[in-house]
Structure 1
Amino acid sequence: MKDALDEKWFRGIAYLLLAATALSCLLPMLHIISLSLSDQQSVVSGRVAFWPQGWSMESYRMLFHGTRILPAFANSLVITFGGILLSMVFTIFAAYPLSRKTMYARRTFTLIIVFTMIFNGGMIPTFLVVKALGLLDSYGAIWFPSLVSAFNMLIMKNYFEQIPEEMEEAAKIDGCGEWRFLTQILLRVSLPVIAMVTLFYAILYWNSFFVVLIYIQDTEKYNLAVLVQQMLQSQSVLQEMNNLRPEDQMATTPEGIRSAGIMVMVIPMLLVYPFLQKYFIKGIMIGAIKG
């Protein structure tokens, strides 16, 4: 009876901690959403908390009409989709041979890759290498230095190792080669881990900020993360906006426009995650069984 009571107390405390953690993540988001959907008077008077006051879409209208949000959004899409494609191809090509027991010195290669998770060349040597390769001011400078994540590769490798060897043997008996087995069989039964790693890379490239500031000099190539950060730091964002009439500038506040910019940046990832959630949970559990 005592054990049952202790278990109830433990579960109650755990639920309280989880609820507090969830609220600490949810409430700031609700506040940003409310600011972006409230009218000027409500925002200036400080009446906006976690629910929009005086519903208005002016902040979004001003954001799309007077800032470079659309070109920055397009740049983010290019960076994200290009990075996902390249990273997934090279991650699969690294994980597959390392998951085969017949590969020579696969343990040595795996340890070398794990070593890069602990030590790396540093920012200045990486910058010099990127500059020597002529990648400055191009998206290649964002893609290639982080082309393969050792963590993602190890998760995919561990998942591939869970695939029964009998499946590969049966495929080879039917005349299936390595390339065909990888593309037509292994990848089809590995959708959970592929979806999970794709989501990891999508978040990495979509939120690219520091590397963009370092390697991209042309402001026309800036992505959403950099644009939103500049909007947050600017104390005169309305004055920097183009093509806005004075009466339009009085229809909203810098806080509302900044909040709208944050939501435009966050919403795509929020829309993608529900479709990958079931694969995400299954992939990270199975891929982490052994290492």
Structure 2
Amino acid sequence: MRSTRGERTFYLFNYVLLTLAGILCLLPLLHLASLSLSGKNAVLSGFVSLWPRDVTFESYKLLFEGTPILRAFGNSVLITVVGVALSMIVTICAAYPLARREFYGRRWISLAIVFTMLFTGGLIPTYLVVSSLGLVNTYGALWLPALVSTYNMMIMRSFFENIPEELVEAARIDGSGEWRLLLRIVLPLSLPVLATIGLFYGVYYWNSFFNVMIYVNSPEKLNLTVLIQQMVRSQSVLQEINAMDTQQANNITPEGIKSAGIMVMIIPMLIVYPLLQRYFVKGVTIGAIKG
């Protein structure tokens, strides 16, 4: 079917608009990368824009040698991996029974869960609950409040509902129980939504900031996001670097160190997203369609 002239004009307008939006999102990232790779004189002169000048890796070298960024990176990986695993397990266990038509009371349970999207207990009651459970200064305080997202659970439930009922009935005729049906039939058919929801949870846990500031007190347990924020707002980390090696420190600028830290925080998500991108659109759109 050939497109009309109006449709072609509409598509062209969308392509141009989205391309411009993509370029605008990419420019700050290129500028940060250029600052982190440029020499001191080039940065101080203000000539660094979208392409590095006097390329050097001293900022990254001193960042890894003079700051606890590797420990913070490990903490972020631990928080993200364990958090995503726990959240996915709980989300699947909540979405699957609510997707089964024979599950008694699923409508009222779904309404009760959706109610939590509109009204929450608030920050102080949540902190009191976490504190009473003895989870302050532990990563459990980050995992427990975010164990399941209502929005993610509803998307996954809708996706499960769209799985053909004939497959489910055929598996039950063959003697499959609910757990085997879930693990052997439903989950293999749900890779798009699993990858999408996993990405949502991964981005949330990797960028955890506010909860870490509230619940985690030990500097050794801080994640990468909080460490980079402290570097950007405080000069204490930069002063430690200057005291470590005067000759090397003279070849870098605070802007270069800060930019290098931000790039280290961003790069893992830039690597993971393209791997899951082919599932992303399908997982969101199919999970949002009832039929």
Aligned to 1:60, what secondary structure does the other structure show?
helix
- Extract unaligned runs of 5+ from structure 2: none
- Tell me, yes or no, if the aligned pair for 2:79 and 2:139 is still in contact at 8 Å: yes
**Partner in structure 1 of residue 178 of structure 2:** 178
Tell me which amino acid in the other structure corresponds to 2:198: T
Contact persistence 2:67–2:237 (CA under 8 A):
no
1:223-238 matches, within 5 Å, as 223-235=223-235, 237-238=237-238
Q: Deviations over 1:64-93 (max 9, x none)?
A: 010010000000011000101100000000
1:128 equivalenced with 2:147 (yes/no): no
TM-score normalized by structure 2? 0.95
Matched with 1:137 is 137
Mapping for residues 19-30 of structure 1, pairs under 5 Å: 19-30=19-30
Offset, 1:249 = 1.1
Count of matched residue pairs: 289
**Contact 1:238–1:249 (CA<8 Å) still a contact in 2?**
no
Instruction: Quote the residue 1:35 is aligned against.
Output: 35
RMSD (Å) for aligned C-alpha atoms: 1.6
Shift of 1:14: 2.9
Q: Which runs of 4+ in 1 moved over 6 A?
A: none
Question: Does structure 2 conserve the Cα–Cα contact (< 8 Å) formed by 1:113 and 1:150?
Answer: yes
Counterparts of 1:74 and 1:18 in 2: how far apart (Å)? 36
**Structure 1 residue 234 displacement after superposition:** 1.5
The answer to whether the 8 Å contact 1:34/1:52 transfers is yes
Matches within 5 A, 1:146-157: 146-157=146-157
Q: Is structure 2 residue 73 aligned with structure 1 residue 77? A: no
Query: Structure 1: 5+ residue runs without aligned partners?
Result: none
Q: Give, in whole Å, the separation in 2 of the partners of 1:222 and 1:107.
A: 41
- Structure 1: distance between partners of 2:111 and 2:198: 24
The 2-side partners of 1:37 and 1:103 are apart by 58
**2:55 counterpart of 1:55:** yes
> Deviations along 1:146-189, whole A, 9 cap, x unmatched?
10000110010000001111111111111110011111111111
Contact 2:69–2:227 under 8 Å retained in 1? yes
Q: Deviation of residue 21 (structure 1)? A: 1.4
Equivalent residues in 2 for 1:1-291 (5 A)?
A: 6-235=6-235, 237-241=237-241, 244-290=244-290
